[in-house]
Structure 1
Amino acid sequence: MSPNERRAWLKLARTETVGPVAFAHLIDRFGDAEAALAALPDLARNAGRSVIPPSDAAIDRELAAGETLGARLLCSGELTFPPLLAAVDPPPPVLWARGNAELLVRPTVAIVGARVASASAQGFARGMAAELGAAGLVIVSGLARGIDKSAHEGALRTGTVAVLGGGVDDIYPAENTALYGQIVESGCVVSENEPGRKAVARDFPRRNRIISGLSRAVVVVEAEIRSGSLITARLAAEQGREVLAVPGSPLDPRARGANDLIRQGAALCEGADDVLRALEGLSGLREPEHPYRGAPSDPDEALRERIYALLSPTPAPIDEIVRACAAPASLVFAALVELSIAGRCELAPGGMASRI
């Protein structure tokens, strides 16, 4: 991309109502970010609202902040973007990377688990990360307490990637500041958010989606039944990744989540050899087919309002909305994108839509 194209890509990605789903559709529909930005006002107006992209000054500030940190901006339309993450439907439009970004194109495995983990589980995660690293794999995790921290520590010498919920400089928890510095020095820290941003609760499911998206397999080591690690495992399964879980004692509530994953079909993991065997049997990942791309024309107001009337606060599959409308799938999706840009509906990865 040229510098102007990269700025437009970032500006479109930072437009408040343009999420990853809408972003991917706009690029498919208009060909590039500059054309999509030019079309935004009309698309939002069609759906009954206005939308204002961030100012050039705001984009300049973000680019300058990244440069000050020595971070690289990776755009999903570029060859430098991590290939596994680019195959996620849809990928995050942009990624900031601080450290050795070359690790993002090497074979990767995620190790995640409980923040308040047992000493034995932390030791297991640290040792397995070291063994997998010695076998040539890069370890991905989320820089949280417990299992995440242990996995990063085990892979410091061979390569590890930390995915953050806030900006690429948002160290959370603060007790991992020294570890963060070591990862920047010898590994890589990534985030889809702008430098300087502090993480909020809604950022962590998106972070988990990047952890699984960067990885060919996800290993869960200790997780309670409502753990965020189980969200990562579910996302990994949806993305076609291998999911493994380390069994634990039924007397320890921290093992219930991992044990339940095994009950649901996750591969049992007792060590690095199980992960390596799972990777040997994993077929090549490819970009999933997207039935809604390439809208042939603009949806009319009557169709948009008919679709909006079908939405509710409870997310519904877009395929069901298409069936209820009896309209071409590409037109229905184009109308949903316009409603999303106007702030009237929310599009979620996995083909779901809901009314706001």
Structure 2
Amino acid sequence: MADAGLFPEAARAAVRDSAARLRLIRTPTIGPVTYRQLLARFGSAEAALDAVPLLARRGGGRPPALADPRAVASEIARVADLGARHLFIDDADYPPLLAQLENAPAALIARGDLAFTRRPCVAIVGARNASAAACRFARELAVHLGEGGATVVSGLARGVDTAAHVGALGTGTVGVIACGIDVVFPPENAALQEQVAAQGLLLAEQPPGTEPRARHFPFRNRIIAGLSSGTVVVEAAPKSGSLITARLAGEAGREVMAVPGSPLDPRAQGCNLLIREGATLVQNADDILQQIGPIDPRMVRTPVNGYEGQPLLDASDGVRRDVERLLGPVAVDELIRQSGHAPAVVSMVLLELELGGRLEKHAGGRVSLIG
């Protein structure tokens, strides 16, 4: 508030910039990677908003319907009323490990103390219908990890998640939810969610008022994995969200750990499978702390005041034809090699096609042309 009084124009510019960023982020066809490309190319969210319709037409499609500025203004007011704040990916206090993900959320909504993300973070995840023994183990594990200086991260779900948060309340915990910051799921965790926000940190990617949907949980899981140096699975079925979190952690280059269980218990099969596939077997907090080790601050880089990498370069009609002719499905690196054009130019063509609704993305980083 002091800044607003001393530097009113700068404060107004900051408000406009935040609103413009949210308009980009809340536009359904603009994901985290596209958002970062637009900011890198145009330097500001306001300039990117002005450019999106032209880029979409260059890509041969109709301009996307940008988010309603009135809805964005309402979201900003609602977040402030909740005692929360928007946290953009190039803010200095954006969680540093999460910022390393290629698809890191362009914005988070945070309630609580962001300092907990600057400590070594360990995710503890597991079955919602976990056994009493698994819940007790997760709770005690969280207590000992906190005593060892780690922040415990989990998803505020039933079972193992709940036990992990309860165990870490006194030392530091981060809850990541798949709904709006003002929505509680499951309902019985209302008091716990409030405690996490008051004593630790509560994070949401979805706008306030958003009810949890099945498609939201994998996005939530990538945040849990991305925040953490390592992920521990305490109890999980072979096909479960916990294994998705473990897979995402592995893909991000983080430690994947699992607690072994009886082969007669279906809830232990996921953990035993992870161990068979190379996850580290852990039995106590010391095993986990030894595995993740201390974080060297020099190894953690957070984009601040802009985006790293070269801005995208405008492409000629000839380059667009070359790129469209080669779209396969094909990996982007291979597309660049075969086209013979600069990566920044090819990336610009792909951005135009995506904004025009003519680019389809496939597993393994491959892309193809629609229509």
Superposition TM-score, scaled by structure 1 size: 0.91
> Deviations for 1:294-331, whole angstroms, at most 9, x for unmatched residues?
3232353762685387345xxx5322333454433322
The yes-or-no answer on 1:337 pairing with 2:354 is no
CA contact (8 A) 1:242 1:278 kept: yes
Does structure 1 residue 42 correspond to structure 2 residue 54?
Answer: yes
Structure-1 residue corresponding to 2:35: 23
Alpha-carbon separation, structure 2, partners of 1:346 and 1:285: 34
The match for 1:175 is: 188
- Larger displacement relative to structure 2 (124-133 or 335-344): 335-344
Match of 1:328 among 326, 342, 345: 342
* Backbone CA RMSD of aligned residues: 2.6
Instruction: Please state how far the C-alpha of 1:106 moved relative to its aligned partner.
Output: 2.5
Deviation of 1:152 after TM superposition, in Å, equals 0.6
* d(CA) in 2 for partners of 1:253, 1:317: 38
Corresponding residue number in structure 2 for 1:295: 312
Structure 2 partner of 1:139: 152
Residues 299, 334 of structure 1: CA spacing in aligned structure 2 closer, same or farther, 3 A cutoff?
farther
Q: Does 1:75 align with 2:88?
A: yes
Q: Is the 8 A contact 1:299 1:335 kept in 2?
A: no
Q: Which residue number in structure 1 is paired with residue 75 of structure 2? A: 62
Q: Which amino acid aligns with 2:315?
A: D
Cα distance in 2 for partners of 1:285, 1:240 equals 13
Aligned residues between the structures: 353
- Equivalent residue, structure 1, for 2:4: none
Q: Distance between the aligned counterparts of 1:145 and 1:259, measured in 2? A: 21
Does structure 2 retain, via aligned residues, the 8 Å contact 1:144–1:172?
A: yes
Q: CA deviation at 1:178?
A: 1.9
Q: Secondary structure at the match of 1:97?
A: strand
Change (3 A) 1:240 1:21: same
- Structure 2 residue runs without a partner (length 5+): 1-12
Out of 7, 11, 18, the residue aligned to residue 6 of structure 1 is: 18
Identity in percent: 47
Alpha-carbon shift at residue 291 of structure 1 (Å):
11
Deviation at 1:126, TM superposition (A): 0.6
Partner of 1:231: 244
DSSP 3-state at the match of 1:2: helix
Using the alignment, how far apart are the partners of 1:4 and 1:120 within structure 2?
52
Work out whether residues 327 and 367 of structure 2, in 8 Å CA contact, stay in contact via their aligned partners in 1: no
Aligned runs of 1:172-251 on 2, under 5 Å? Answer: 172-251=185-264
Structure of greater Rg: 2
Alpha-carbon distance change, 239 to 125 in structure 1, aligned in 2, over 3 angstroms: same
Distance 1:205 1:304 in 2: 36
Using structure 2 for the length normalisation, give the TM-score. Answer: 0.87
Please tell me the residue identity of whatever aligns with 1:18: I
The answer to whether the 8 A contact 1:165-1:206 is kept is yes
Match of 2:9 in 1: none
What residue in structure 2 maps to residue 161 of structure 1? 174
CA contact (8 A) 1:307 1:325 kept: no
- In the other structure, the counterpart of 2:288 is 275
Residue type of the partner of 2:204? S
Runs of 4+ that moved beyond 4 A:
281-288, 290-293, 346-350
